[in-house]
Amino acid sequence: ACRYARENDIPYLGICLGMQVSVIEFARDVAGLADATSGETGEGSKVIDLMPDQLGKEKGGTMRLGAYPCKVREGTLLHRIYGEDLISERHRHRYEFN
């Protein structure tokens, strides 16, 4: 679905695993990383992996929770929507783009 959306200019909201598979698909099909994968599912070029502060921890209750300051790049759609250079976003995640 994410490849179809990308190739046909269809908006795609990938949340959590949806975002992960979108990044993996792009890495494989556009960037040429045939072994692109997630650190959660396999070995290879881990384009999605644990955040550094999550390494070596048990999974129970260790996700980064709460508000997180995010810099918004000027000239982007997000900057136009928020009208701010720095926003506070809430999330609950253990993995990030590598």
Neighbours of 95 (CB within 10 A): 19
Instruction: Identify the pLDDT of residue 27.
Output: 96
Q: Is the pLDDT of residue 61 over 70?
A: no
Domain CATH number, residue 55 = 3.40.50.880
Rounded to the nearest integer, the mean pLDDT of the chain is 85
Query: What is the total count of domains within the chain?
Result: 1
26: containing domain? 2-97
The answer to pTM > 0.75 is: no
Helical segments of the chain, H only: 2-7, 17-29, 77-82
Q: What is the DSSP string of 9-64?
A: T------THHHHHHHHHHHHHTS--TTEEETTT-SSEEEEEE-GGGTT--STT-SE
The model's confidence at residue 3, banded by pLDDT at 50, 70 and 90, is very high
Tell me the residue type at 29: D
pLDDT band at residue 9 using 50, 70 and 90 as cut-offs: very high
